């Protein structure tokens, strides 16, 4: 007998008994996105590696450690395909959506709201709420400059949690300013961390010159006290970014949303500026962020397009399903009707009626 073939570690099957909760979430999202004016877009799972290097950032965990990449030149026997192009399984959705918007001139007639859903891939140690193939909903508002769109997306998620019956969720909010703000803050951060070089772990020392802002996001317990004393990006905001953040908070307060300003929240991707946010729940363990995103006004230019303001977020489907389970949300596959029959002739009639 041949040996059984099993699924790849970190790439799990979602079996029929589990899918009713997924379907309940998917149906709620589709209905809500339509109400808010977001249209569906579907982009390839495979993209040029350069898209993510330029978009996400070369010195990020995703690009350095987590992307699944493959070289076409090593896998092709035809001269036409042996270009040496490096391809990658998408680790997130935003860069691909922006690439599509530029390539197809989607914003020619004005701003657009879009959403997508599907698998993403990151090579990480599998654990609860973190798989190597995972599924996300992703929404993007392309071409919108004001904080009202940032607030719209956050309020949309708050409405979704209510629809799904999730109560124990908390909104964390921060602003990482504009490029000039981050440059000034970076200099202060480097000087501060150099004074505390002995307390830095290997990752932090590596990032000190390339991406010191990411040190603030470290989960190393031994570094937390030192990180707490680091200069805050909120104290380095220029007038435009500070006004944007103040207006965002006013809008959220007007909507009756509670939030926590978290000066250490920076997100893991280089393309963000100004608003960054995460929705967090303690009910699902260490991987507690169920949705997160923010503003990325420079990404279009980084990928070869015109300057275009934008804002968006990703929502982890597995993690939201875990939160639904923790909240006692129920869903099951239920047929619309049963037809009961007795006898061969009745069986034939029952089959016709069922059809």
The pLDDT of residue 81 is 46
pLDDT digits (tens, 9 = 90+) for 148-201: 999 999 999 999 999 999 999 999 999 999 988 888 888 888 888 888 888 888
Decide: 273 and 207 in contact? Cβ < 8 Å: no
**Is the predicted pLDDT of residue 210 greater than 50, yes or no?**
yes
- pLDDT per position as a tens digit, 322-332: 999 999 998 88
> Between residues 259 and 209, which one has the greater pLDDT?
259
Output the pLDDT for position 78. 44
Q: Say if residues 257 and 99 touch (Cβ distance below 8 Å).
A: no
Sorted by sequence, the CB contacts under 8 Å of residue 29 that are 6+ apart come out as: 115, 117, 137, 160, 315
Task: State the average pLDDT for the chain.
Answer: 89
∠ CA 163-169-171, rounded to 5°: 110
Q: Is 258 left (phi over 0), alpha (psi -120 to 50) or beta?
A: beta
3-state secondary structure of 128: coil
Alpha-carbon dihedral sign for residues 257, 258, 263, 265: negative
Q: Note the pLDDT of residue 80.
A: 44
Task: List the structure tokens of 345.
Answer: 């002739």
Show the tokens assigned to 239: 């007038």
Say what the pLDDT of residue 147 is.
Answer: 96
pLDDT at 96 over 90: yes
User: How much is the pLDDT for 268?
Assistant: 64
pLDDT at 73: 64
Q: Is residue 235 scored above 70 in pLDDT?
A: yes
232 in Cβ contact with 213 (< 8 Å) = no
60 pLDDT tier (thresholds 50, 70, 90) = low
Q: Which of 42-56, 87-101, 124-138, 264-278 has the highest mean pLDDT?
A: 87-101
- How far is it, in rounded angstroms, from Cα 261 to Cα 87? 38
pLDDT of residue 292: 94
Q: Of 46, 57, 106, whose CA–CA distance to 303 is shortest?
A: 57
Q: Which two tokens stand for residue 138?
A: 């992703």
Q: How much is the pLDDT for 77? A: 47
333-354: per-residue pLDDT in tens?
888 889 999 988 899 999 999 8
Would you call 194 helix, strand, or coil by DSSP? helix
DSSP string, 261-314: E-TT---S-TT-EEEEEEEE-GGG-S--EEEEEEE-TTHHHHTTS----EEEEE
For residue 130, give the DSSP letter. B
Closest CA to 261 of 221, 287, 281, 232: 232
| Spatial contact of 114 and 97, defined as CB atoms under 8 Å apart | yes
Query: Which residues neighbour 189 within 8 Å (Cβ) at sequence distance 6 or greater?
Result: 212, 213, 215, 216, 230, 231
Cα–Cα nearest to 267, from 200, 230, 201, 313:
313
Rounded Cα distance, 143 and 86, in Å: 30
Alpha-carbon distance of 21 to 314, in angstroms, equals 19
Handedness of CA 304, 217, 134, 153 (dihedral sign): negative
């Amino acid at each position: 007998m041949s040996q059984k073939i099993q699924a790849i570690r970190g790439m799990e099957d979602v079996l029929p008994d589990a899918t009713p909760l997924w379907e309940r979430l998917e149906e709620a999202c589709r209905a809500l996105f339509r109400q808010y004016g977001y249209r569906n877009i579907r982009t390839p799972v495979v993209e040029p590696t350069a898209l993510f290097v330029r978009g996400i950032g070369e010195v990020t965990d995703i690009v350095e450690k987590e992307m699944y990449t493959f070289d076409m030149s090593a896998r092709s026997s035809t001269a036409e395909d042996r270009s040496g192009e490096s391809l990658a399984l998408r680790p997130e959705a935003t860069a691909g959506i922006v690439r599509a918007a530029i390539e197809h001139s989607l914003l020619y007639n004005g701003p657009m709201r879009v959403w997508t859903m599907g698998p993403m891939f990151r090579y990480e140690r599998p654990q609860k709420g973190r798989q190597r193939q995972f599924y996300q909903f992703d929404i993007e508002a392309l071409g919108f400059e004001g904080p009202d769109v940032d607030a719209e997306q956050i309020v949309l998620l708050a409405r979704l949690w209510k629809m799904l019956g999730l109560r124990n969720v908390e909104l964390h909010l921060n602003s990482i300013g504009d490029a000039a703000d981050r440059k000034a803050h970076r200099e202060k951060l480097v000087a501060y961390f150099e004074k505390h070089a002995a307390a830095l772990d290997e990752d932090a020392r590596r990032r000190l010159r390339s991406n010191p802002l990411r040190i603030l996001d470290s989960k190393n317990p031994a570094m937390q006290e030192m990180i707490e004393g680091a200069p805050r990006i909120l104290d380095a905001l220029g007038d435009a970014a500070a006004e944007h953040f103040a207006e965002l908070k006013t809008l959220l307060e007007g909507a009756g949303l509670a939030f926590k300003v978290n000066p250490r929240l920076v997100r893991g991707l280089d393309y963000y500026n100004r608003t960054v946010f995460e929705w967090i729940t303690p009910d699902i363990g260490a991987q507690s962020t169920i949705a997160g995103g923010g503003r990325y006004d420079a990404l279009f230019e980084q990928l070869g397009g015109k300057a275009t303001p934008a804002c968006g977020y990703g929502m982890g489907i597995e993690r939201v399903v875990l939160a639904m389970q923790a909240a006692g949300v129920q869903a099951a596959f239920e047929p619309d009707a049963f037809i009961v029959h007795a006898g061969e002739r009745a069986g034939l009639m029952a089959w016709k009626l069922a059809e």
